[in-house]
Amino acid sequence: MPGYQQEYDVVVLGAGPVGQNAADRARAAGLSVAVVERELVGGECSYWACVPSKALLRPVLAVADARRVDGAREAISGSIDPSGVFGRRDRYVTNWDDTGQADWVGDIGATLIRGHGRLDGPRQVAVATADGEPLVLTACHAVVVCTGSRPLLPDLPGIADARPWTNRQATDSSSVPGRLAVVGAGGVGVEMATAWQGLGSAVTLLVRGSGLLPRMEPFVGEYVRRGLADAGVDVRLGVSVRALHRPDPAEAVELDLDDGSKLTVDEILFATGRAPLTDDIGLETVGLTPGNWLDVDDTCRVRGIDDGWLYAAGDVIHHALLTHLGKYQARIAGAAIAARATGQPLDTQAWGAHAITADHLAVPQAFFTDPEAAAVGLTAEQAAGAGHRIKAIDVEIGDAVKGAELFADGYTGRARMVVDVDRGHLLGVTLVGPGVTELLHAATVAVAGRVPVDRLWHAVPCFPTISELWLRLLEAYRDSFFTVV
């Protein structure tokens, strides 16, 4: 096919942030790279997830922060202007125009091929291009699968006719539904409940379980639940949708709930999980099962493939569906491919790491709710379950940290530090409260670096910032070893 060569060192399926990082790391090592993308270059994160959701949330949280400060709250009058918020979001997603990101692929020396790529046997990728011309690529060293995930909708009566929102409609819609039901207790559910309530919807959050953000420390979900309720969200725990009814596209959606009640809304968002986008990428041609998550080793090489030429990173490997983690995995994959292609040992520092292996000890996650929630590493329950002897140290941030008091009048939040008592370093940190997401990287460094608690005493926090929380946590840990008689 004119303009395209048939053979590359590396072929990357998917040009989202994960695929871009894999391509960039391979190109930096001098390998030739083709990147195949069937939608927008930049992927889900750039256009329907991380970027637009934070663009929608920031005005809501900014107003909430102002209302927590005497003298500032009096300046807040009226409500948020949805058109201004939508315009801001549209700027940050470049009006769904991927020209800039497509140009970046060319700027690093990679070839962008638009079309649907499928594996077609070992080291082969067949691309159905937009112009209908067939194209078969050969990868000399590796194919990297970075195709991401899709929303997983429940199989419920009436769901097709109801035309529910997924994360895409929740982040690209430019009209505010009068009544919105959000189904799901995870990050997408609580963030979108926060955003749309702030934009003017009457939001009902339906949660099958007993709490929000169930993978974090239990107290986080309670703080977030109270924050949502205080903002006006109707949070209903322990309830599920049984069926949906929407006889006409212009009419409301009626929900049958398993507690026997009904709920009528203008739109419904299902934030009930994700499935890998591996059902139509030719896995069957290399002995793998279409639609499955891909199992990889610590260099992100897919297990069960002869000669080890297939790699995967991001959502498709199901370690944690977080963009920043996927980008990290892609850098590991790209570096491992480059090392193997050039005969370098995997423990060389030439690739920017002491060892080219993916370390999932300290995976950070942040949710921009009100209050914000952030965590890295293990919860106390996870750490104890893994056999560690631990101490879990809790601090009420607003009561103990002067910087928090100055940040917001009546500041409420909590922090937990999980310490491995035998080894003397942190296993996990969890934070909930206004502004705490900006504290997360310090916690990530401490957990990932296994910094001894004794050494953390010498990392002096600046007064008066919320970071002085670290000193309060260390003091509480020290005091936990003394019993007052």
CATH of the domain at 424: 3.30.390.30
452 and 438 together in one domain: yes
Residue 358, pLDDT score? 62
Q: Please state whether the predicted TM-score (pTM) of the whole model is above 0.75.
A: yes
Straight-line distance from the first to the last Cα atom of the chain, in angstroms, rounded to the nearest whole number: 83
59: left (phi over 0), alpha (psi -120 to 50) or beta: alpha
Give the containing element (helix H, strand E) for 162: helix 159-162
240 and 285 together in one domain: no
Of 329, 358, 387, which residue constitutes the final position of a domain?
358
List 430's β-bridge partners, or say none.
375, 416
Which DSSP string do the residues of 379-397 spell out, in sequence order?
-HHHHHHTT--EEEEEEEH
247 and 289 together in one domain: no
Note down pLDDT in tens along the chain; length 485 residues. 455 669 999 999 999 999 999 999 999 999 999 999 999 999 999 999 999 999 999 999 999 999 999 999 999 988 999 999 999 999 999 999 999 999 999 999 999 999 999 999 999 999 999 887 789 999 999 999 999 999 999 999 999 999 999 999 999 999 999 999 999 999 999 999 999 999 999 999 999 999 999 999 999 999 999 999 999 999 999 999 999 999 888 899 999 999 999 999 999 999 999 999 999 999 999 999 999 999 999 999 999 999 999 999 999 999 889 999 999 999 999 999 999 998 887 764 444 544 566 677 899 999 999 999 999 999 999 999 999 999 999 999 999 999 999 999 999 999 999 999 999 999 999 999 999 999 999 999 999 999 999 999 999 999 999 999 999 999 999 999 875 54
Query: Would you tell me the crossing angle of helices 50-66 and 82-92 to the nearest 10 degrees?
Result: 140
191 annotated among ligand-binding-site residues: yes
Please count the structural domains in the chain.
Answer: 3
293 and 428 together in one domain: no
| Amino acid (1-letter code) at residue 166 | T
Cβ–Cβ under 8 Å, residues 453 and 424: yes
184 annotated among ligand-binding-site residues: yes
Q: Is 71 a domain residue?
A: no
147 annotated among ligand-binding-site residues: yes
Q: Is 442 a domain residue?
A: yes
Cβ–Cβ under 8 Å, residues 311 and 328: no
100 and 144 together in one domain: yes
97 and 167 together in one domain: no
185 annotated among ligand-binding-site residues: yes
Give φ, ψ of 3 to 5 degrees. Answer: 90, -15
Q: Which of 459, 475, 455 is nearest to 467 (CA)?
A: 459
Structure-block tokens of residue 447: 């957990």
Q: Is 13 a domain residue?
A: yes
Query: Would you tell me the crossing angle of helices 17-28 and 99-107 to the nearest 10 degrees?
Result: 20
54 annotated among ligand-binding-site residues: yes
Q: How many whole angstroms separate alpha carbon 345 and alpha carbon 200? A: 56
Q: Is 240 a domain residue?
A: yes
Of 253, 272, 291, which residue constitutes the final position of a domain?
272
Cβ–Cβ under 8 Å, residues 110 and 27: yes
DSSP 5: -
Q: How many whole angstroms separate alpha carbon 272 and alpha carbon 159? A: 13
168 and 146 together in one domain: no
Torsion 44-46-48-50 (CA) sign: positive
Residue 354, pLDDT score? 43
145 and 167 together in one domain: no
Q: How many whole angstroms separate alpha carbon 212 and alpha carbon 235? A: 10
189 annotated among ligand-binding-site residues: yes
Q: How many whole angstroms separate alpha carbon 459 and alpha carbon 463? A: 13
Contacts of 132 (CB under 8 A, 6+ apart): none
251 and 301 together in one domain: no
Q: Is 73 a domain residue?
A: no
Distances (CA, A) of 289 to 276, 293, 393: 12, 9, 45
User: For tokens 């026997």, what's the residue?
Assistant: 260
| DSSP helix/strand/coil, 372 | strand
Residue 485, pLDDT score? 44
148 annotated among ligand-binding-site residues: yes
315 annotated among ligand-binding-site residues: yes
- Structural domain harbouring 177: 159-272
134 and 29 together in one domain: yes
201 annotated among ligand-binding-site residues: no
Of 248, 272, 296, which residue constitutes the final position of a domain?
272
